[in-house]
Structure 1
């Protein structure tokens, strides 16, 4: 989608694509937070979420700087108009590369194993504390 946004000539197409991207980001956020809450032990959840937020929000300045460097590097050869679109193309290529790299690693089977391990760890921890599902703690 970033590649299409970068080369769209009509602002309405850009708005539509950015709206779709925002919707996808919202769904992604709901899924990942719910999954983390399901598999991470309660006493570690705050730490894990803080690291997740630190890394994800911390990459925003790196992306801005990289985009500026891409524009600066391509402006002389490609002209200002094309150079301002190049960060979107670079982001699209990078996103495609990461997706191709991650696809074999992120399988339903691996997610189910992680969920089962999280459930087992939670039951073991609750048993050690004396909490049972019947008594509610």
Structure 2
């Protein structure tokens, strides 16, 4: 799974954004900004040992991936659900499930969705409306 982002200089700071994760942070240098986005992801996942791989292009765009696809996808689901003002119960209803636990297991990373389920979840949490997609690397 690969997410796209961008890092750019604004004033004396370097800003860095990963739109699919609804994440924006900054650093004192480009290198520091890249470290800060990785730290923000670790903090949001509450996993100090979580590692990401970033491939930076010359134009300031980058791709972000991780070996732990479940954790990264669960963060993606949660951030998109919150961004679109949905509760776990709302998403469960849209999945035609009477139990919020069914969806919560995807968001916690305890259950891995199939590709078909992942595409359905993408639509339900509102990410598909913005043209956000993910690539499996």
TM-score band w.r.t. shorter chain: under 0.3
Q: Which has the higher helix share?
A: 1
Which has the larger Rg?
1
If the length of structure 2 is used for normalisation, what is the TM-score?
A: 0.26
Of structures 1 and 2, the one scoring higher in RCO (CA 8 A, sep 6+) is 1
TM-score normalised by structure 1 residue count: 0.26
Higher strand share: 2
